[in-house]
Amino acid sequence: MSELRRDPITERWVIVNVDAPLSPADFHFQQHIWKGEKGCPFCYGNENLTPPEIEAVRPDKSEPNTPGWKVRVVANKYPALKIEGNLEKQGVRLYDMSNGIGAHEVIIDSPEHYKGIPDFDDNQVESIIKIYKSRTLDLTKDKRFKYILIFKNLGKAAGASLEHGHSQLIALPMIPKNVREEIRGAERYMSYHERCIFCDIIRQELGNHKERIIFENDKFITLLPLSSRFPFETWILPKEHKSSFMEIEEEDIPFLAKILKETLGRMREVLFNPPYNYVIHTSPINTEQPLGFHWHIEIMPKLSRTAGFEWGSGFYMVQTPPEIAAKYLRGELK
């Protein structure tokens, strides 16, 4: 018999197939076929094919918009939101709307067309994280913005239109709904227990034979949430309570780089190089700071199709229970 589990943060129920769990080999998705670096705007020498660079890591002090960079940030060529103008909110009879003010940037992870985070040396991954942080700090100065979302789409099925490894940043003038819900859940828990729910989850998972934990170092932990929406969904959390990603200390960045690399590397190996998304969940900016929120990264491999049931209900069916998925990811099951 399968069971229903409730996410303690968002109160979302998921159905977990505990009887006949699917193994990594049971999922079918299209393998990535490389198109090649010809005309790729993210490769060395093609810097003129992107909008001008906003920021870059250039150890050799080379000129902007020329080769020599390690990580490079440019404006999205087809932005979902635009940075120019004042935020104008209005009501149109029944409906509320505003103009689409925001920032939409692309972070090119490296000059290497065919390499992903697991292939980079630690220093390269640290540079990516540092640039995530510096872009966040910079955009936070713009008081129009209330939320900064950093995410990665890898593979076409996960929404990536270009195959050269990159992440994206979107600064929004309002707090998105899922974030509000997560914060509300965390605040509700905090007001009753006077503890952070994410800290409690970490404590409970560490105390529970570590059955859903994959990696752990001094500063970070990788675990599979009990009520994951997707098979093999994985979270990376800082052990120390911090509400916002941009509060990450310089000396903690190498620990995050290491665990991110290990986690994505293990997923690639065990799940046969799946398309995936990861999203940094953090606190809103330029507004009152929520109590009891704890930043983290959610990684969602795209192994199954999301169907009408999930859209209509916010209720998810998970074909591999997270404790079984954790065994595969730790290499205890093959």
Q: Is 28 a residue that touches other proteins (CB under 8 A)?
A: no
Q: Are the CB atoms for 252 and 5 separated by under 8 Å? A: no
Q: Is 176 a residue that touches other proteins (CB under 8 A)?
A: yes
- Kindly tell me which of 77 and 123 has the beta carbon lying closer to other proteins: 77
State the DSSP code for 282. Answer: -
- Kindly tell me which of 140 and 217 has the beta carbon lying closer to other proteins: 140
- Binding test (CB under 8 A) with other proteins, winner from 298, 303, 324, 326: 298
CB 217, min distance to other proteins, A: 23
Q: Are the CB atoms for 101 and 85 separated by under 8 Å? A: yes
125: closest CA among 282, 295, 334, 297? 297
Q: Is 158 a residue that touches other proteins (CB under 8 A)?
A: yes
Burial class (CB in 10 A: 0-12, 13-18, 19+), 217: middle
Q: Are the CB atoms for 333 and 23 separated by under 8 Å? A: yes
Burial class (CB in 10 A: 0-12, 13-18, 19+), 162: middle
- Kindly tell me which of 229 and 266 has the beta carbon lying closer to other proteins: 229
| Residue 6 parent element (H or E) | strand 3-6
The site that binds other proteins (CB under 8 A) totals a number of residues, namely 71
Joined tokens for residue 4: 């229903």
Q: Is 72 a residue that touches other proteins (CB under 8 A)?
A: no
Active site residue 28: no
- Binding test (CB under 8 A) with other proteins, winner from 93, 143, 209, 334: 93
- Of the listed pieces 116-124, 131-139, 271-279, 324-332, which binds other proteins according to CB under 8 A? 271-279
Q: Is 3 a residue that touches other proteins (CB under 8 A)?
A: yes
Q: Is 267 a residue that touches other proteins (CB under 8 A)?
A: no
SS3 (DSSP) at 64: coil
CB 19, min distance to other proteins, A: 9
Residues with catalytic roles: 166
